[in-house]
Amino acid sequence: MRYLRSGPRRLHTQETGAPRAKTVGLRSGEIADRNIRVILEAIRRHGPLTRTELGRHSGLTGPGITNILRRLAEENLVTSNRRSGLGGGATATEFALRPEGAFSIGVKLRRTRGEIVLIDLSGQVHDRVYFDVEPEDGVGAVHAAVRDMVDRHATLPVVGLGIAANDWSDARSEQLSAMSTIARPCVENECTASLLAERTIGSALPEGGLAMIIIDDDVQAGFLIRGIPYSGVHGRAGSIGEMLTGPDNVQLNSVVGFDSLRSRIGDEDFARLLKGEEFSSPSLSQWIREAAGHLLDPIIAMAGFIAPSVVMIGSDLPQGVIEALIHQLSVERRDTSTRPLLTPWISPMRPASFSGGGVALGAALLPFLNTLLLQPASA
């Protein structure tokens, strides 16, 4: 199958101190590539659409839209149907996304565990597997999981592989590419992948910025500003787990990270939580209270400096635990016994739209954003 663009590239450009090249216009092939993405994105977001409606969404001319639709149909990415006119009026051809026209694989990789998903072009998850990881052999674990996923779905048109990991290197990508038949993976950090999932197929984003907090072995934050993920210099933005927080001035990771939770409730109950089991216990309730008391400090800082419209919290923990944590954060923000002032201006908080914060899902979107859909800076 032929696609519009091949090969991974980063979804955002950060200032690195290097001199920037002169701004140049797009070449004709790049213009055509972007116009195709514009049409496909309009159909994905608003479809089914007629040619006239596509013209209003894209600003492109009729002949240009017709040529693009013909190409997308040849790629099996869109399908057409007749739309009946209202009141017995004239009919028109409308074009809809064909989700099964392309698939992608996404991997969330942690030190001792991983998650792999297979999604279609609409973002629907068709397969999900959790797997164990040996700390010294992350590449081997990813390769085995990807190979098994590809073998189970050998007849599907898989565009590529995305990986969400905070310590993945170019050398590991090269090693994986040498072992796999899939092209070099697209890579992003976990919070950026989670934000891309929210932005692309999650709940409707409010006006203004979005902050995402991921609670896992450590605690991270990511920011979506004007629809574009922001990672800061060297990708360091959002390293909130290293902050000293709470009245006892301890590192956030040591109170909110999974090691703290595991030591508080025990290995058996911790394993139950990661399996999605909902239960309550005094030890879990105590962890929620302590976690909220320390997590509120970075949330106050985000609200004061960035003022996002909403702060989302994602984790592999069950939805009920995240909701209980958010409720406790609301209690903490009204308590003046530990903080001398009320903070009614803090952004609203809610759980992430997807399990695990949508990290693996966002990773699976990376190949689509590199080959078919509009990237964040263009949308």
Backbone φ and ψ for 109, nearest 5 degrees, come out as: -120, 125
Q: What digits encode the pLDDT tens for the residues 151-164?
A: 999 999 999 999 99
What per-residue confidence (pLDDT) applies to 20?
A: 44
Q: What digits encode the pLDDT tens for the residues 287-313?
A: 999 999 999 999 988 888 888 989 999
As a whole number of angstroms, the distance between CA 112 and CA 135 comes to 6
Model confidence at 244, in pLDDT bands (50, 70, 90)? Answer: very high
What per-residue confidence (pLDDT) applies to 135?
A: 84
What per-residue confidence (pLDDT) applies to 45?
A: 85
Nearest in space to 349 (alpha carbons), one of 227, 211, 221:
211
For residues 21-25, give the mean pLDDT.
50
Please tell me whether residue 313 adopts helix, strand or coil conformation.
strand
Contacts 24+ apart (CB under 8 A), 85-91: none
Please tell me whether residue 316 adopts helix, strand or coil conformation.
coil
pTM of the predicted protein model: 0.85
> How many Å separate Cα 18 from the centre of its chain?
28
For residues 39-60, give the mean pLDDT.
89
Residue 97 contacts residue 47 (beta carbons within 8 Å): yes
Q: What digits encode the pLDDT tens for the residues 213-242?
A: 999 999 999 998 887 888 777 667 788 999
**Residues present in the chain in total:** 379
Torsion angle, alpha carbons of 295, 297, 298, 300, to 10:
120
pLDDT above 60 for 88: no
Weakest mean pLDDT among 32-41, 70-79, 212-221: 32-41
Weakest mean pLDDT among 83-97, 183-197, 321-335, 345-359: 83-97
Model confidence at 16, in pLDDT bands (50, 70, 90)? Answer: very low
Weakest mean pLDDT among 69-78, 80-89, 280-289, 301-310: 80-89
As a whole number of angstroms, the distance between CA 331 and CA 349 comes to 12
